Structure 1
């Protein structure tokens, strides 16, 4: 691998870790676990088991619509062309307005309205064990 490619990959990894750290710094995983109870009827963040919706284990940095044994809506599958990876920013937008971000999504949840709730859920999704 060339030095320039190594440098670019290193910078990209550092930027990704910084975003994850920033999201966790802005949110509280313990509070996020409480807010996540609104999501728990359809999703789990602590075990890779699908429910009505796909599991969310390791979602930050994971490909959108990438859980192999879950049947995503066509709208969500098509969304991967626009947003291929669940970044903190992509999750922030989606958690606020799932149907606004992915028109035709199967997700019935209207979204989280409070900035604090969104930040806390992202902190929880980033590291569910931090809520224990």
Structure 2
């Protein structure tokens, strides 16, 4: 019985770590605003770039999308502190960027979106 329980825990942990099982349907409610322009599927861009693998990536570096010069020249890496500031006020963090999104105002919404972005591999 103990072996089955351990095997179940290992299998469950493995399922949680499989990136393809995470989708836009798993996103927090605040991500609805992001979905208007961004896909979570790798290589599938919309008005904005795909957000697959965005966490930990340098801003303006994903191939296959034409970023604004301010994004490319920002030197930012999409980590938790940077995303926290950016999601609250994109125009202040990267002045002159093309994104028309005004930002999320709730710290809880920002945190939930960042946690979701971390899962997109």
Tell me the equivalent position of 2:80.
88
Paired residues of 1:48 and 1:56 also in contact (CA < 8 A): no
Query: In 1, distance between residues paired with 2:115 and 2:45?
Result: 21
Tell me the equivalent position of 2:18.
none
Task: Give ranges in structure 2 of 5+ residues lacking alignment.
Answer: 1-25
In angstroms, what is the RMSD of aligned CA positions? 1.6
Q: Equivalences for 1:26-105 in 2 at 5 Å?
A: 32-80=27-75, 83=76, 85-105=77-97
Task: Give ranges in structure 1 of 5+ residues lacking alignment.
Answer: 1-29
SS at match of 2:33: coil
Tell me the equivalent position of 1:123.
115
Paired residues of 2:54 and 2:120 also in contact (CA < 8 A): no
Paired residues of 1:61 and 1:87 also in contact (CA < 8 A): yes
Paired residues of 1:63 and 1:86 also in contact (CA < 8 A): yes
Q: Bigger radius of gyration, 1 or 2?
A: 2
Equivalenced residue count is 96
Q: Greater CA deviation, 111-120 or 70-79?
A: 70-79
- Residue 75 of structure 1 and its aligned partner are, at CA, apart by 1.0
Q: TM-score, normalised by structure 2?
A: 0.73
- Residue 116 of structure 1 and its aligned partner are, at CA, apart by 0.2
Q: TM-score, normalised by structure 1?
A: 0.67
